Chain A
Amino acid sequence: MRYAAGWRSRVALGIPAGLALLLLVVPLVALMLRADWARVPSDLATPTVLPALRLSLTTTSITAALCLLLGTPLAWFLARSDHRATSWVRALLTVPLVLPPVVGGVALLMTWGRTGLVGQHLTPFGIQIPFTTVAVVLAETFVAMPYYVLAVEGAMRGLDPRLEAVARTLGATDLRYLRTVGIPLVLPGIASGLALAWARALGEFGATITFAGNFQGRTQTLPLLVYVELERDPQVAISISIMLLAVSVLVLGVLRGRWLR
């Protein structure tokens, strides 16, 4: 009887579990089945794809650099502070993680638009941000930065605070400690944070199309091009998708193999 009950519960749980797995896996399989593998290389070399590829690579690289330069110090402050305000800042940081990207795009327009909070002060100087490549970078940074900061802060919190105490007694100032011990020890965290942020930026669609538009060579990144090509030439859309899927798997593999435990 007990065996029968085990068997039953296995079926009762196995069916929904299998369904969940299928819901995730079948689309990926379908994408690969529908791909015309022989055409993939030539599809990726068309005059519409190349500019989008170049734009995606440039903007995501700049985004990653911004995360590194601005996000690392922010992560450091968050990691070493026990102040009540810190948990509020951390909560604020997670908002872009769960916010619908299109809402992010609207928020960015309200900030940098012609009459926006910041944008209205730029207009007199002839500086226009929306619908430019700069806007693409801002949109990608908006969605990617939280991933980076939270990953690096986690790594920094993992450091034994007594290491810093010892370094200080040895004569190291705050900055020397950070340069010679703190940062080198969180390099794996920085690397995985960068990979996560970069992958998120590469896939960014909603905020970009809302805030930066869809102009070939200027704001049309790969995800936007996929959306356009699906109407025009689905096979090209599939080929680009295959490439993006490959890149995602690659990033995941790098994270898994070296930094994710």
Chain B
Amino acid sequence: MSAPRSHADGLDARVRLSRGTMDLDVPLTAEPGQVIGVLGPNGGGKTTTVLALAGVLALEEGHVRVGGDVWDDGRRRLAPERRRVGLMLADSLLFPHLRAVDNVAYGPRSRGVDHHRARERAHLELERVGLADRAASRPRELSSGQQARVALARALATDPALLLLDEPLAALDPDTRARTRSDLAARLTAYDGVTVIVTHDPLDALTLADHLVFVEDGRVTQSGTPAEVLSEPRSAYVGTVVGLNLYAGQGDSHGHVTTVKGGVVVTTSPTEGSVWATVPPSAVSLHLHEPEGSPRNAWRLRIASVTMQGQSARVGLVGELPLTAEVTLESVTALGLQVGQEVWAAVKATEVRTYPR
């Protein structure tokens, strides 16, 4: 279809700056058409990274190169209005006094496109997000989901080489979020620039991004495809995001993993040396008495929390090995599980995965 693309045509950045107590050093590369999902706990530096890529904040060191153009080399910073960049934030931040079409036309107009052609382009972009009939509406007359779509249309109307989405769905209610997420996914497929989407919602990241970067405390703790990250999380935060019990420990050839906190996990797929071990919550069974038979992992733990999720319950357990179990509501009632109670948790050794740390 087209010539092979590389980072030189896309995004090649290393964002280094300090703000307050945070010291940020985040490398990011992407090919045109790629969607990079940046995840991490709040205050970890995600938004700062985005603002630096947009040019609102200056780099102290490092570089931002997009499509072969140097936007920032740590010394000279190209002003945001001179970058081919699009920015969309959690609150859609539409200009409240302008109609939808004028919001979308604002970018082209600011970049010197004449009034008529800017409006034409704005109408086209609104059509692409399914809002052709709301062009004359003011932002306050639009629903939050529609506002988000107008904001996306506005960000794309200037043909940015880099599209930055900072928590684009965070301000929406759950129903609207699901619909807007699929609208966003559809629109991004047709976009041929690089997209960086910041989120703390794993679902956003897994459905929208083809490459994930985890930023914690100013550093990248893990990056990879969603499949890689899902199967082999490499930090406690990533473990939580993908919903696995994750332990750092030392493995031996017999399949024993001693976690750094002293607990022991047995696996049928041993890895020696410094390892990560994962236990899927759904593989944990709970018993009132010490289980007999096949499971080679059994711990006596105390129930710290019970939360419901649909037809299942997540049971937080503390003790020699902190563990989250996912069990059916029936077993919660059958076993009479209560916070503070001690139970036996069992996991088959075949369910425990290990990989080098």
Contacts and interface: CB of A to CB of B under 8 A. Distances in A.
A180 B98 CA distance: 10
A181 B109 CA distance: 13
Contacts of B86: 169-170
Contacts, number: 63
Interface string A176-202: 100011001100000000000000000
Interface stretch (A44-52, A78-86, A159-167, A229-237): A159-167
Given A176-B110, A180-B106, A168 B93 contact: no
A163 B151 CA distance: 12
A166 B97 contact: no
Task: Classify the interface of chain A: helix, strand, loop or mixed.
Answer: helix
B54 A165 contact: yes
A167 B93 CA distance: 10
A172 interface: yes
B139 to A, nearest CB: 12
A46 B309 CA distance: 83
Interface stretch (B75-83, B126-134, B199-207, B329-337): B75-83
Given A180-B106, A184-B97, A185-B97, A166 B81 contact: no
B51 A165 contact: yes
> Interface size class for chain A?
10 to 19
A93 B75 CA distance: 38
Contact of A169 (B83, B91, B96, B97): B83
B56 A165 contact: yes
A101 B109 CA distance: 49
A185 B54 CA distance: 24
B71 to A, nearest CB: 12
B154 interface: yes
Interface in B56-113: 56, 79-81, 83, 85-87, 89, 91, 93, 95-97, 106-107, 110-111
A180 B110 CA distance: 10
Contacts of A184: 97
Contact of A162 (B85, B93, B110): B93
B158 A170 contact: yes
A163 B93 contact: yes
Given A172-B81, A184-B97, A166 B111 contact: no
Given A166-B93, A181-B95, A184-B97, A171 B110 contact: yes
A173 interface: yes
Contact of A168 (B79, B95, B96, B154): B79
Contacts of B56: 165, 168-169
B93 A171 contact: no
A170 B86 CA distance: 7
Contact of B81 (A163, A173, A185): A173
Contacts of B80: 165, 168-169
B55 interface: yes
A162 B154 contact: no
* Pairs A-B, 3 closest by C-beta atoms: A171-B110, A170-B107, A168-B80
21 contacts: A163-B95, A165-B80, A166-B89, A166-B93, A167-B95, A167-B106, A168-B55, A169-B55, A169-B80, A169-B86, A170-B111, A170-B155, A171-B81, A171-B110, A172-B81, A172-B110, A181-B95, A181-B97, A185-B95, A185-B96, A185-B97
Given A162-B91, A167-B106, A184-B97, 18 more contacts: A162-B89, A162-B93, A163-B95, A165-B51, A167-B95, A168-B80, A169-B54, A169-B83, A169-B86, A169-B87, A169-B155, A170-B106, A170-B110, A171-B111, A172-B81, A172-B110, A176-B110, A185-B97
Interface of A: 160, 162-163, 165-173, 176, 180-181, 184-185
